Amino acid sequence: MDFEFYFDNILNFYNVSSIKELAIKIETGPSTISNWKQRRSITALKKKCRELGIYNEIFGETTFSQTGANSQQIQNQNNAGSGMINQQNDKSNPTQLNTNLDIEIINLIEGASTVANSLGKKEKFKEELTRYITTELIPKISTM
């Protein structure tokens, strides 16, 4: 993900052109915003956008249908990766994904992976996903 792209999105959203103006709009110190920018901290920017309720406006909207305790967290994390994936066919950026997977599937897996990682259970997530795909999903799909 490109920090500058998302930082420009938030500047445009608030119709400001400087860190000082942005700081006033989002009620955050200019030094804090400068620190985000210097570190290129997308995580800090995402967190603030969630607090401000403008996450989708800055990082892009993704439709998502999920219920349960972690559904909002999955949706938020899901949206976080959508900008990079939506540009996956951009040949000018070699770091973009090149895949034929459906974007909703990618977003769902990315969201679940991020939640698992934040809970310290990424390896368990990989194991369970692999088990599910090989023992349940593929056999069901092949009999459809």
pLDDT in tens, 46-90: 999 999 999 988 887 544 444 444 445 545 554 544 444 444 444
What's the rounded mean pLDDT across residues 25-37? 94
CA 38/CA 78 separation, integer angstroms: 25
Lowest mean pLDDT among 40-49, 52-61, 105-114: 105-114
Q: How far is CA 123 from CA 34, 63, 74, 85, 126, in A?
A: 35, 27, 17, 23, 5
With beta carbons less than 8 A apart as the criterion, state whether 110 and 77 touch: yes
The overall pTM is greater than 0.85: no
Give the residue from 81, 84, 78, 112 showing the smallest Cα distance to 98: 84
pLDDT (mean) for 33-49: 93
DSSP 3-state assignment of 21?
A: helix
**Residue 93: pLDDT over 50:** no
Q: What is the mean pLDDT of residues 98-110?
A: 66
Question: Predicted confidence band at 1 (pLDDT cuts at 50, 70, 90)?
Answer: low
Spell out the domain ranges in the chain.
3-58, 60-142
Q: What is the pLDDT of residue 33?
A: 95
Residues whose CB falls within 8 Å of the CB of residue 103, separated by 6 or more in sequence, listed in order: 82, 85, 86
Would you say the C-alpha torsion 119, 124, 126, 130 has a positive or negative sign?
A: negative
CB 45 within 8 A of CB 7: yes
